[in-house]
Structure 1
Amino acid sequence: METNHHSPLTASEIGTLWGFYLKSSLSVCVMTYFLEKVEDTGIRDLLQLVRKQEQDTLAMIEDVCQREQMAIPVGFTEEDVDPSAPRLFSDAFMLEYVRQVEVATIAAIPNVTRSDVTNICQSGLQLAMKNHDIAKDTLVAKGQYSRPPVIPAPKQIDFVEKQKFLRGFLGEKRPLSAVEISHLFMNMQTNALGKALMMGFAQVAKDAKVTKYLVRGKEIAHKHVEIFRSLLAEEDLPGSECGMITS
């Protein structure tokens, strides 16, 4: 006996669809601006690919929303981007932007069940991995990729024996673990990217309140970059914001 069981969208699935929609609509706007300014033909090809993929994702999400009679999210539109604005970022910055956005997408593994929503998520994750690798490999080839610090490979296994290990930077200090170094470096990079974005946007924002907000955000991001950099420096580990992040 056949059954026609149609599962309603769960809260997690609705949230995932809305999150992907906002991310994809923002990416379309950013890629549209980048494509007006990029000079390197290879990077242009990647930006065009990313924009097309994000447009396809928007269409898939809109299809699900229509079938479920659910409101389509209000994402970013062409009204939110001015392709004629001055060039604010280097080609290498555009690559790094793509790389970091795709890292965030890969890290956001959703809790979904329905096959149609799962397909959207799987497609997004697969494309994110591919685009991340293209951006990373291009940066490496151009000598503009900032690698995480290198540490000696462990020769023996040590176990945590006391809870004070969890206090980390408080009280008696201990060497940073590989995981901590990784997170410090990654957070330094993401804040450096945000700092550069806000510096650029602050130069062209037309509303004084928006400009003030962006400048404040830039200052906060800069503060975090310096904190993370100093923690790495205390361990004699190299720290770089990302040499390619320039406006």
Structure 2
Amino acid sequence: MNNQSFSPLSAAEMAFIWKQYMNDKAISCMLKHFLCQVNDLDIQKAIQGTLHITTKNSGTLTAIFLKENMPIPLGFREEDLNVEAPKLFSDSFYLLYLKHISNVLLLSATTGVDVAARNDVRSFFAACY
């Protein structure tokens, strides 16, 4: 067994998984609202796929927090989401939003891989590619 997998998280690793968790939770809330408003079926599928990824990421990060006895950040929750709110953006904006958050999350993942010393954290960020 590799002793590296049992080493405590470094400050940089903690910061990056915390940031990733907060990003995923905020993006998930936005995407859930978009799903209630979108009309274009292709864009709807893209939103659903991205929501699946952010939900999966949040679950993986929650497991790391629990394993490390770290508090789980509150992030954005279902109570923060009003699916009844009127549509604010066009379907083409939703697609543009997906493009931009993909770029932001890709940059975050590549930096996360660079700072991660532990295999589980590095594997998580590598999977985010």
Q: CA deviation at 1:107?
A: 2.1
Q: TM-score, normalised by structure 2?
A: 0.91
Question: Which residue number in structure 1 is paired with residue 22 of structure 2?
Answer: 22
Give the 3 Å change call, closer, same or farther, for CA 72–35 of structure 1 in structure 2: same
Deviation at 1:17, TM superposition (A): 0.6
User: Residue 106 of structure 1 corresponds to which residue in structure 2?
Assistant: 106
Q: Distance in 1 between matches of 2:127 and 2:74?
A: 22
1:116 to 120, 123, 126: 120
Q: 1:3 to 1:113 in 2, by over 3 A?
A: closer
Deviations 1:58-101 (A, max 9, x none): 01001011111111111101111111100110000001111111
| Higher RCO (Cα < 8 Å, 6 or more apart) | 2
Change (3 A) 1:13 1:77: same
Distance in structure 2 (CA, Å) of the matches to 1:74 and 1:17 = 13
| Cα drift, residue 4 of structure 1 | 4.7
1:50 matched to 2:54: no
Rounded Cα–Cα distance in structure 2 between residues aligned with 1:123 and 1:86: 35
Q: Does 1:84 align with 2:84?
A: yes
State, as a whole percentage, how many aligned pairs show the same letter: 29
Q: Which runs of 5+ in 2 are unaligned?
A: none
Q: Which has the higher helix share?
A: 2
Which blocks of at least 5 consecutive residues in structure 1 are unaligned? 127-247
**How many residues are aligned here?**
124
The residue type paired with residue 105 of structure 1 is: L
Match for 1:12: what amino acid?
Answer: A
Relative to structure 1, is the Cα distance of residues 118 and 86 closer, same or farther in structure 2, using a 3 angstrom cutoff?
Answer: same
